[in-house]
Chain A
Amino acid sequence: MTASLRIINGRVYDPANGIDGEIKELCIKDAKIVDSVDDDASVINAHGMVIMPGGIDIHCHIAGPKVNMARKLQPEDKRHDPHPATPFTRSGTGGSVPSTFATGYRYATLGYTTAFDAAVPPLAARHVLEEFHDTPVIDKGYYVVLGNNVFMHQLIKEGRKEELKHAIAWWLNASKGYTPKIVNPGGDEPWKGKKNSNVHDIDEKDTVFEISPRDIIDAFIDVANELGLPHPPHLHCNNLGHSGNFETTIETMKTAGDRRLHIAHIQFHSYAGKLGENPLSAGREIVEYVNAHPNISTDVGQVMFGKSTVMTADAPSAYLTRGYTHSKWINADTENESGCGIAPYTYQEHVYTNALQWAIGLEIFLLSKDPWRIVFSTDSPNGASFTSYPKLVKLLMDKSYRDEEISRVNQRAMNKSILREIDREYSLYEIAIITRAGPARCLGLKNKGHLGIGADADITIYDDQEDKELMFNAPRYVIKSGHAVIADFEFTTDYYGKTLHIQPEFDQSIEDSIRPFFDDYYSVRFDNYAVTDYYLHDHEYIPTKQDAL
């Protein structure tokens, strides 16, 4: 139960309900938006302010073993960026991989109220949920890395499609996940078992399971459709970061046909040029394909200059990064489930490749014809930390600022990009789509990303400012589930959001096949593997279409 609240006089941007900057009153009661509240409700006068739903991060890395290893790895990234306690909130540290408390509070201070961790091996789910319990303000969920699961590869190899469906559903339940994540399909086996090699072609079959990346992608899309998952398989394509990889990306999207598929951080998969040589931009080719195919959604994975941390279940790609940095590096294998690589990295304006990556991301944003499906992300902290979002908003909204920035970076790269020629500026309405309404729709979150009756009362109120970076850096109010956690720019209280997950149905007898696999090849007992509700605390399960039947 929360007190009721009325927000008056604000300009509301609520694209899901077609509201584009109208002055509109919002009423809040019991953590939801309602049509009216009693006269004694407290009032926020939002005169001169911009109101949007709380931001939703569709793809970031904020919790779990790999994130925590990246924290432990880099004291130098934290010492310069302390996050002091207040009487109501806990202390922490920032940098590109903030501590849990700093993560939640910092998302809130950008006006974000929901975030999805993009890559959690099931064996790591318990750890992620423990960290979520210490990540304040925001609602959270995660995608479960299943694309290179050895048990599932065996089923795909043997054509046991029905069992695959039940196995995927079982695993989503056991790990409290939101959707299957596929990372560099087929790439774990050669990495772990064939001396750190990798798969390079979408139709290349590996020698152990004799299946190709395309076989894996195809099988997962089918299962997700049958299960009616709210968000389709979340796919990190093969050949991330390689020059010429856009052809793999296009082939991957073609594999989906007209079935739903989400391509993660597509900027990293939009490179032309020859393998081993400097990349060229294929931003236009990629956007044109996405524009023409409404079954595809994607997030951009924008690169921003400065310190980042590469962290990915795609271990070979992190090893590639190590090859550039010659610096510290982590590899972390999860048995039967995933690989992982971590490497500190800094994107530099004067470096051709970095500048081109930056330009390709912006090309994709600016050539997009459907902001609902080409949504905002930096693949935080891979392309940049989420704390750089306000600056990215300014780049999209302000052509003159963009031109200034273009003039500061590697000109050889700018000459290879069409960025200079694009005049488009995003409107506040479009920003509200790519950071709120769009990701909510891609994720199948019916109560988020909008401000209609019945929506979650997750609301951000910004002072309307000319400088959009300043504006998006400091909302005056942030309301989470009806609580004004930030008022007049200051935290007023501590608050912990909930975990969002799904519970697709499965045939219990699938456990008869999974259990012996555990006895043989896992190091934990089958009966100790599934994560219990004990770890969920406040949570909400999002229905699948199956549930509606």
Chain B
Amino acid sequence: MILVPGRSSKQGTSLNHGKLKQEYIDVTSTLEMNQDDMAKLKLVDGDSVRLKNDVGETIVNCIGKKPEDLPSGMLFIPYGPPSSQLMESDTAGSGMPLSKHMEVEIEKVGG
């Protein structure tokens, strides 16, 4: 699956409140996922999933999105500490890590 971290207005408003506050932590650990993909993995809204790649892994909660809004194979998450765990540090000489296009494996936690 391809993970695309980005901004959301909720992430923006909650970071004003404080990055160590619960609201920001909740927002940045909520993963948006295609509903059909979720069904295949027997996931329902609010389930915990483990995202994993060569760099590291993190556990987040998922919620479903309609296929016309989020294509199959794509995942979206607001930027924050969880997405950092998966981010490759090699910038290929550009200074910029690849932070919007990460190949990750996903699995259900505790089920």
**Is A–B contact present in the complex under a CB 8 A cutoff?**
no
Residue ranges of A at the interface with B (Cβ–Cβ < 8 Å): none
